[in-house]
Amino acid sequence: MNVIISNKSEKPIYQQIYEQLSALILKGELESGYCLPPIRQAALELRVSVITVKKAWEELERSGLIHTVTGKGCFVADFAPGEILETRNRLILEQLTLDAAYYKSFGLTLDEVIGLLKKVYD
Amino acid sequence: MLALDVRNLHKKYPDFQLKNVSFQLEQGYIMGFIGVNGAGKTTTIKSILNMLRIDGGEVYVFGRNMAEHETELKQQIGCAFGDVDFYTRSRLKTITDITKKFYRNWNEDIYANYLRRFKLDENKKIAELSSGMKVKYSLALALSHGAKLLILDEPTSGLDPVSRDDLLDLFQELIVDGEISILFSTHITSDLEKCADFITFIDDGQIVASAEKNEFVEAYRLVSGSEAQLGVIREELIAYKVNSFGFTGLIRTEDFDPSSDLRASMPTLEEIMIYFAKKESLYV
């Protein structure tokens, strides 16, 4: 499991961990049933605070990507066929909703946004 | 369970006072206690440890009143002060032999381990140690009697970057089982950006905020803009600096209008500290 934390980033560290792990899960690199390290162990290894990891794990659980078995740990959730795609799209949509609000605050039209997006996408 | 519960501490000196200092540390976590020199960090820590007479307030350690059960509770507390000097002409061995008599759960193996880890030679005299080595020695003493609550005053300040890093590693190792809790004061805030779970910020004898680290930082924004924009927002700012290019200031997130065209970013702990210190000088 590969997680890279940047102190320079504006993003809170728990967000960085959450995003990288959810990407690993949605890409299938962490398979269903994979047991995540215990929170305190992960904090020690990533050299971040316990609460930071706790928050990241909670976010993953809220997104339905992992589930907690009391006394045993956190596991990557089982996905029905197509569910991964569905979850991925849902997460992307959540992000797009936020982004769209930002673009709208500048008064951009959809075509303008798509035009600009094309520029950065290649 | 709360490892430490500080309630409404008051302590009055002729030219300084602790006012209504309260904060809580949950068991198994690290709390950074920050503030500029003279803000009241050491006074607070000494009050917690009953090392000075307070004018009001209460301290609970693991749910028990410190004033009533001091001797008992101190078995479970390990403390170290950045600047306390031992008898400088004694050997470490002599001081250790005296210290361990006070602790029921003194563990010789753990002590020997820390001596090795910190590269301390028991046959040296205190006077022969650098200030960093003195800190390490007092930490070795604090960690060798099974303490469940560590209260450390500026443990990192005399250390070089490598030793500081090693010490922060050690702190994280210590809390991994969720049993040990650590309160440590520092003005080197970069030590806290990563490992601390909670931040308590004291300024001029009063607690400004005590919160989970992320929430603490997210409660503030660093804004910058032109001098004309400063006129509009000046009242809302905690403090600001002006130069010929414009201004930069600290603002509470709740007072900041994100749709304004000011540039805003997340402050570091250090920036929050600096602007709060500036606030006082504004009114002098």
What is the percent of chain B where pLDDT is above 70?
97
Max Cα distance, chain B (Å): 67
- pLDDT category at B281 given cuts 50, 70, 90 is low
* B280, pLDDT greater than 70: no
Candidate from A7, A13, A49 with C-beta closest to B30: A49
Q: What is the pLDDT of residue B284?
A: 43
Measured between CA atoms, the residue of chain A closest to residue B212 is A51
Domains assigned to chain B: 2-212 (3.40.50.300), 219-283 (no CATH)
Nearest CA in chain B to A50: B197
Instruction: Kindly report the CATH class assigned to A8-78.
Output: mainly alpha
Contacts of B177 in chain A (CB under 8 A): 40
* Minimal CA separation from B94 to chain A, in Å: 35
Per-residue model confidence as pLDDT tens digits over B89-134 = 889 999 999 999 999 999 999 999 999 999 999 999 988 988 778 8
Over residues B131-177, the pLDDT tens digits come to 778 888 988 999 999 899 999 998 888 788 888 888 888 999 999 99
pLDDT at A2 over 80: no
Cβ–Cβ below 8 Å for B214 and A12: yes
User: Over 60: is that where the pLDDT of B283 sits?
Assistant: no
Residues of A in contact with B214 (CB under 8 A): 12, 14, 51-52, 55
A44·B172 Cβ contact <8 A: yes
Chain B hits for A40, CB-CB cut-off 8 Å, are 28, 175-178
Q: With an 8 Å Cβ cutoff, are B196 and A49 in contact?
A: yes
Gap from A47 CA to chain B (nearest CA, Å): 6
Span B16-30, average pLDDT: 95
Region A11-15 average pLDDT: 86
Confidence at residue B193, expressed as pLDDT on a 0 to 100 scale: 81
User: Is B37's pLDDT higher than 60?
Assistant: yes
Environment class of residue B222 by beta-carbon count within 10 Å: exposed (0-12), middle (13-18) or buried (19+)? middle
Q: What is the residue extent of each domain of chain A?
A: 8-78, 80-122
Q: Quick check: B49 pLDDT over 50?
A: yes
Find the residue in B nearest to A39 (Cα).
B176
pTM greater than the 0.95 cutoff = no
- When pLDDT is averaged across residues A11-39 and rounded to a whole number, the result is 89
Strand ranges for chain B from DSSP E:
2-12, 17-26, 30-34, 56-61, 64-65, 77-81, 149-153, 181-186, 198-203, 206-212, 220-225, 237-243, 246-252, 263-265
A34 sits in the region (left: phi over 0; alpha: psi -120 to 50; else beta) called: beta
- Contact list in A for residue B265 (CB cut-off 8 A) is 10
